[in-house]
Amino acid sequence: MSRRLYASLIIALSVVLFLALNVFSNSALRQARLDLTENGLFTLSDGTKETLGAIEEPVTLRFFYSERLATGFPTISAYGTRVRDMLTEFKSVAGDKLNLEIIDPEPFSPDEDLAASYGIQAVPTQSGETLFFGLAGTNLANGSETIPFFFREREPYLEYDLTEMVHKLTTLVKPKVGLISSLPLQLGPGGVAAAQQGRAEPFLIYRSLDDNFDLVELEGGFDRIDDDIQVLLIAHPGALPAASLYAIDQFVLRGGRAVVFLDPHSEVNAQPGQFGQPDPNAITSSTLDPLMAAWGIEMPLDKVVADANRAQRVIAPGPTRREVFYVVWMSLLAEDVAADDLVTADIEELGLGTAGHIKILDEKTTDVKPLIQTTADAMLIDVAQVQLAPNPQRLLTGYVPGGEKLTLGVRISGAAATAYPDGVPLKETGEADVEAEAESDAAPLPAHVANSADGINVILVADSDLFDDNFWVQKQNFLGQTIAQPVANNSSFVVNAIDNMMGSDALISLRSRTASERPFKVVDDLRRRAETQYLREEEELNAKIASTEARLRDLQRQAPETEGLEGAYNIAALSEQQQAEVERFRRELAESRAALRDVQRNLRKDIDALGNQLRILNIGIVPLMVGLFAVGLFYVRNRRRAQASSRR
């Protein structure tokens, strides 16, 4: 057989083998998956699989995607492929319980009308055509859910958004959550004043709660909590009367679950009112005394927690408008939350503001487990320092590490006794509530419970500002819609806590799995150390400059004014000693200002040095190492070849 014929046969057999392998892999390896991405972006979580496996009645998902138009937009095209792949993965796991339709709406077609009927957003392109990129889900009970448009900013949350849609379509009855709060959760920042001006925008956490649960608001003065309330959510309550506190006490002792957010200083409620002045009637602090003592904890209202290691950056007041670390606004990281508790295990970041600290009492019957803590460098600050007009720079320069971790959130369980051993508390008038009830048509209160039968279950956090969008969300406008990009897991934490209390854990790990913004820890640490070191020196120099300028002005005023020039003084008319004093003050002023400029440059010196080191590493050292490795490999191979040739 000639070499040419032999080579042709080899090529032909290789082609046949290649085609056979493709056919075999398409049929036999269809379910095989290999995800090599860092965060497992293409691997469905256990929570998603559990949700898909729990579908009882079929759910239909219609993916409206203008694939032909999307080819002109690379980012949309790439994201569209990922959405379609994940929906296909959902279908493979759910089987016949999930119907998947992928629709490419043509202009003026019934598919385009169908997309519009579901509320799928039509985005106009430069060619005059409209691009669809959304999802509509329906169930057999005429329930529907829609994602109008898959914004690229939500890509890290794609799996959760899809799983949440399926979960809503398969959960026909939302669980009831009792809500007690003085925060403007439904109105957003500005509360009633903003609503009167047409600027009401509910907090995103409230929207998430409303999507997942049937929220039942308990008005002030309630004296009982209905048995159909599965979990009680208390978010910065007002001054509750004794009857309401007793109702909470009895609800928890009877086995009801509670998620509580208290605050020594509410940034939300302390915001200026309609005319820029603080509202004197605003509820800026909250407590649940005497219930907390019965649960084995206390939260002082005169202190807030500061942690320079976790401080957020804010714009400092003053003419410079410089960013500084505000030590009482914290971004807590994964190492600051309990890794062994399902509610916090996957939390990567939490944004808190002017939080209180929880003290665990020595004489307690409950089991109190810390869920959220500061670093060991945290300290306590008088609440008066953050009221009215706080000074972030002064708080940072006066910062003194406390040397121990402070607890911000706890899980309370185990045996507990009532905070009202004598039963129903008396009214302020001295008449018992139960006596007033007997005279009315109201149903009698349930029998008094003195001790918990199976133990209580409460999650309590010493901050309520985590509900505020400003502490965990970045917002931007796209096509007239506000796109919220979470940078912390505040919403996940709140909804996880309630889900966990209800015993529904399927979405918890998935909800927290979404990647939060990764902070530049090394840069932040360098900047924080620099500011702590130099801000105090900067304040001293500014004070010295102000003092020198004042003395210089006083001395200059002793000279007569120059004729015809108001405010201009004839220094030459002063005595030689006074003129020398003026020159000395001027030199001091110039030296102080030069020193101040040096200090301000030093604030960035270490950060700039780190940047230079990284540039040298990336541009010089890494390529050099690769080059040296290649040269070494070339040398070793040549040496082996030479040795092999010499043996022959």
Residue pLDDT, tens place only, 548-582: 767 667 766 666 555 444 445 455 555 566 666 66
Beta strands in 237-339 (DSSP E): 257-261, 297-298, 303-306, 311-315, 323-333
Q: What is the mean pLDDT of residues 176-186?
A: 94
* Local confidence band at 243 (pLDDT 50, 70, 90 cut-offs): very high
Can you read off the two tokens belonging to residue 397? Answer: 């320069």
pLDDT given for residue 481 in this prediction: 63
pLDDT given for residue 630 in this prediction: 77
Instruction: Between 221 and 407, name the one with better pLDDT.
Output: 407
- Per-residue pLDDT of 68-78, as tens digits, reads 888 888 889 99
Instruction: Between 461 and 9, name the one with better pLDDT.
Output: 461
Alpha-carbon distances of 138 from 60, 86, 99, 121, 478, rounded to whole Å: 5, 18, 10, 17, 27
Q: Are strands 130-139 and 144-147 parallel, antiparallel or unpaired?
A: antiparallel
Instruction: Between 635 and 290, name the one with better pLDDT.
Output: 290
Distance of CA 54 to the CA centre of its chain: 29
How high is the mean pLDDT of the chain? Answer: 81
CB neighbourhood size of 491 (10 A)? 25
Q: Is 187's pLDDT higher than 90?
A: no
Counting residues of the chain whose pLDDT is more than 90, the rounded percentage is 40
Instruction: Between 245 and 538, name the one with better pLDDT.
Output: 245
pLDDT given for residue 435 in this prediction: 43
CB neighbourhood size of 184 (10 A)? 22
Kindly give, in sequence order, each residue whose CB lies less than 8 Å from that of residue 567, ignoring residues fewer than 6 positions away: 561
Q: Is 235's pLDDT higher than 80?
A: yes
Instruction: Between 599 and 325, name the one with better pLDDT.
Output: 325
Instruction: Between 388 and 32, name the one with better pLDDT.
Output: 388
- Name the residue type at position 467: F
Q: What is the mean pLDDT of residues 393-403?
A: 89
- Averaging pLDDT over each range in 43-57, 333-347, 457-471, which range is the top one? 457-471
CB neighbourhood size of 288 (10 A)? 23
pLDDT given for residue 135 in this prediction: 96
Among 182-196, 475-489, 529-543, the range scoring the smallest mean pLDDT is 529-543
User: What is the C-alpha separation between 131 and 105, in angstroms, rounded?
Assistant: 9
Instruction: Between 159 and 648, name the one with better pLDDT.
Output: 159
CB neighbourhood size of 606 (10 A)? 17
Q: What is the mean pLDDT of residues 299-312?
A: 95
- Per-residue pLDDT of 1-25, as tens digits, reads 566 776 677 787 777 777 777 666 6
**Contact 350/489 with Cβ under 8 angstroms?**
yes
Q: Is 214 helix (H, G, I), strand (E, B) or coil?
A: strand
Residue with tokens 């000279």: 559
Beta strands in 114-165 (DSSP E): 122-124, 130-139, 144-147
pLDDT given for residue 357 in this prediction: 96
Find, among 597, 583, 599, the residue nearest to 548 by Cα. Answer: 583
Q: What is the mean pLDDT of residues 261-288?
A: 82
Q: Is 83's pLDDT higher than 80?
A: yes
pLDDT given for residue 504 in this prediction: 61
Q: Is 448 helix (H, G, I), strand (E, B) or coil?
A: coil
User: What is the C-alpha separation between 488 and 387, in angstroms, rounded?
Assistant: 25
Beta strands in 122-193 (DSSP E): 122-124, 130-139, 144-147, 176-181
Among 433-437, 440-444, 476-480, 491-495, the range scoring the smallest mean pLDDT is 433-437
pLDDT given for residue 503 in this prediction: 74
Element (H, E) at 491: helix 490-502
Give strand pairing partners of 329.
353
Q: Are strands 144-147 and 98-103 parallel, antiparallel or unpaired?
A: unpaired
pLDDT given for residue 433 in this prediction: 46
